[in-house]
Structure 1
Amino acid sequence: MTDLAKIPVTVITGFLGSGKTTLVRHLLQNPQGKKLAVLVNEFGSVGVDGDILKACADENCPEENIVELANGCICCTVAEDFIPTIEALLARPVRPDHILIETSGLALPKPLLKAFDWPAIRSKITVDGVVTLADAEAVAAGRFAPNLEAVEAQRAADESLDHETPLSEVFEDQLACADIVLLTKTDLAGEAGIAAARAVIAAEAPRKLPVVEVSEGQIDPRLILGLGAAAEDDLAARPSHHDGHFDHEHDDFDTVVIEMGEVAEPEALQAAIQRLAREQHVLRVKGYVAVTGKPLRMLVQAVGERVRAQYDRPWGADPRRTQLVVIGEHHDIDEAAIRKVLEG
C-alpha cells in the first residue's frame, strides 16, 4: 500500500448484544493477510469488549492496534476522540491495511460516517462498508420494529403508546446506514423467526439490502471486507431519524457499574440478572465475575433474559473483583434496586 492510498474502514454496528464483538474477534483470527487495527467504543466505563478483543492480539493486529474509546458514544465525540485516534493509527511505523470500528450498541452510525468527510482524514481513509448486525430472535419478536402487528395491537390498547421508542429509532438508523445486514442468533429464532426478521428488515430498510445469516460470528471475511462502498460519499441514501440535528443525545439511556466482591454461587447471580430484565426492564448486562475458588474470571454477557457465562482467562495481575455494566432506558435504571437484586 502506498502512502497515498486510502485505508479502508469497516464500521460494525448493531443493537446491544447482537454479536459485534464476536464478529470482530472472528475477523481478527482470520485477517486474510491484512494488518488490522480496531477501534472499539463502549457504552460505560468498564472496557469489557476491548478486553475480549485484546486477548486476540497477534502479529497481524498487535495489542497497540486495538484502541478503546470509552469517553462517550463515538458519534458524539468525533473531534475529541475519533479523529485523534485515527491520526495516531495512521502515524504508526506500520500502518494498518484495514481498520475495524465496533460502535456501541446505542450508537447512531450516520454522525460517524459524516466524520469521514473531515479535512484532516478525508484523503487518508474511506468507509469500505457499514455492517449492521441484527438479532434475529429480537427482531422477530418485534422489540425494535414498531410496525409489527403485535406492537400495533399494544399501541391501540394503550393511548400512551403513540410514538416510536428510542430503541426502534436506533435499530432503524443502524439499518438505514447498512451496506449488508448480518442476521445473528438464528438458532434461537427458528425458521419462522428468521423469516419474520427478514420481513421486518426488508420493510424497515430504505433500500434493498443483502441479509446473511451467521452463527457465532462465523463468516467469510471476503463477504464483508472490501465492499468499496465509500459510504461517506453516499450519505443521502442513508436517511436517519436525526438528520438535521447538530448531534444526538443519549439521555434516553443510562449505564451503571456495579462492583462486588467474590461470588460464591454464579448460578444465583445469573438468575438475578434474569430478574433484572423481567422486573426492571434492563436491556444489557456485561462484565466479569470473581467466582470463589476459581482461578479463572467468569465473563458474563446478557441481553434481556438471555445470559451467557464462560470462564475466559486467569485473573493474573488484575484484582479479583466482580464488575458488571448494566444498561437500560433512563426511566428504568434504579442503581439501588439493581444492586439489591444482584447482591441478593
Structure 2
Amino acid sequence: MRPLAAQGKIAATIITGFLGAGKTTLLRHLLEQVDGRRIAVIVNEFGSLGIDGDTLRACGIAGCRDEDIVELANGCLCCTVADDFLPTIERLLDRPEPPEHIVIETSGLALPKPLLKAFNWPTIRPRLTVDGVITVVDAPAVVDGRFADDPEAVAAQRAADPSLDHDNPLAEVFEDQLLSADLVVLNKTDLLDEKQLAAVEAMIAGETRGQARILQADHGRLDPRILLGLGAAAEDDLDTRPSHHDGADDHEHDDFESFVLDLPEYDSVDECVSRLTHAAREHDILRMKGFAAIKGKNRRLGVQAVGARVRHEFDPVHGGSGRLVIIGQQRLNRAAIAAALGAP
C-alpha cells in the first residue's frame, strides 16, 4: 500500500470496544507518546455527560490542547453519522493547520461499520482514510462470560421452543466490534493468569477476521507505532467486515439506557467504592464512570466501574461536585440505585 502522504490523505484511527474496555486509557497513553505530532481526538459517549472528554482534557499531557479534543455526547456515532460526525470531521479538515492524524473513540455501544461507511462520503473520501480499526477488549469480562449466553441454557430453550428469539444485545455489539477490527487489544491482562489469557485469546481469535492482529496490554500501554500506521484503508474493504446489522436501515439502542446522578460528598474513598460496588451487584449495572467529591480532599476522585470492578484515582482538577453516568440494560431501577449511592 502507498504511504498516506503519497495519497494526499489524512489518516484516521477508530478505537472501539465495549463499555469499560479501557478505550480512553489506551488513548491517553497514546497521546502521551506522540512526540508533538498534531493529533485531533473525537470522543463519542453514550449518555449526555461527557466524562471521557473531560478526563482527556484534564490529562496534563504537553501538547494535548483542549481545542484538539472534540466531544460528541448524547448520541452514538453509528446512529448520528450525518448529523454529528461528518460536520465535525469537515471542520477539522478545514482548519488552517489540519491535524496530521485523527483518532476517534466510539461509544462503548457503537457498531463500527456504519461509521466506516461514512468515510466514503464524497466530501471526505478524497481527504481522509481509515488507517485502522482498533477494538479494545476487557479480557476479564470475557472470562466472566459477560458477552455470551449460557450455551447449555440456550440449547435447552431452543429445544423446547425453536421460535424463541435468543439474541443477546451485549454479544451482538461485542461481535460487531470484533468483526470490524484490524487490531484487537486484549486489555487488563494483569487481572488474569496465563491459562485464562490463553482461553480468552483463543476465543477472540475465533471471532475476528483472519487479517486481524491480537495483542495483549496492561492498562492500554502499547507503543503508538503499533497503533498508528496500520495502513488498512478500512473504508475500501467493508465487505470483509460483516455486521449483525448489514442491510438494516438503522441501529437502535433500545436494549440499553443511561442516566446521570449528582453524588453527595463521601466521607472517604472506601465509602465511595463500597457504595459503587454494592449498587453494581444489586442492580446489574454494566458501567459507571464519573467523579466524586471526598471530604477533606481538594481534588476530585475519578471513578470507573465495569460491573462490580471499581477503579479510582484522584484527578488533577481541583474541586467540583460529584457526578456519575450509569449505563445498563433497560429497566434500571433508578430510584433504588440513587438510594444505594446516597444521591439526593
TM class by shorter-chain length?
Answer: over 0.9
User: What corresponds to 1:212 in structure 2?
Assistant: 215
Tell me, yes or no, if the aligned pair for 1:202 and 1:208 is still in contact at 8 Å: no
Q: Secondary structure at the match of 1:122?
A: coil
Q: How many aligned positions are there?
A: 336
Aligned residue identity for 2:321: R
Q: In the alignment, what sits opposite 2:148?
A: 145
1:238 maps onto 2:237 in alignment: no
Segments of structure 1 that go 5 or more residues without pairing to the other structure are none
Match for 1:337: what amino acid?
Answer: A
Question: Structure 1 counterpart of 2:300, which letter?
Answer: R
1:66 corresponds to: 69
How do residues 116-155 of structure 1 correspond to structure 2 at under 5 angstroms?
Answer: 116-146=119-149, 151-155=150-154
Alignment-derived partner of residue 341 in structure 2:
342
Contact preservation (8 Å) 1:29, 1:56: no
Moved more, 269-278 or 122-131: 269-278
Which of 34, 37, 40 aligns to 1:34? It is: 37
Distance of 2:186 and 2:45 partners within structure 1: 22
Which residue, 250, 257, 275 being the options, matches 1:272?
A: 275
After TM superposition, the runs of 4+ consecutive aligned structure 1 residues lying more than 6 A away are 1-4
> More deviation in 273-282 or 159-168?
159-168
Amino acid aligned to 2:166? H
2:326 corresponds to 1:326: yes
Distance 1:153 1:68 in 2: 42
Q: Does structure 1 residue 44 correspond to structure 2 residue 47?
A: yes
* Superposed CA offset, 1:172-200 (max 9, x none): 00000000100011111211111111111
Residue of structure 2 equivalent to 1:13: 16
Counterpart CA distance in 2 for 1:260 and 1:57 is 25
CA contact 2:264–2:342 (8 Å) conserved in 1: no
Instruction: Could you tell me which runs of 5 or more consecutive residues in structure 2 were left unpaired when the two chains were aligned.
Output: none
Which of residues 261, 272, 295 is equivalent to 1:292? 295
1 CA distance for matches of 2:290 and 2:273? 12
Identity %: 55
Q: TM-score, normalised by structure 1?
A: 0.92
What SS does the corresponding residue of 1:76 show, helix, strand or coil? coil
Mapped to 1, the partners of 2:341 and 2:20 lie a distance apart of 20
Mapped partners of 1:11, 1:259: distance in 2:
31
Contact 1:186 1:213 in 2 (8 A): yes
CA apart distance, 1:57: 6.2
- Is the contact between residue 155 and residue 162 of structure 1 (CA under 8 Å) also seen in structure 2? no
Q: Cα offset for 1:61?
A: 3.7
Q: Is the 8 A contact 1:145 1:200 kept in 2?
A: no
Give the structure 1 partner of residue 110 of structure 2: 107
Mapped contact 1:36–1:60 kept (Cα < 8 A):
no
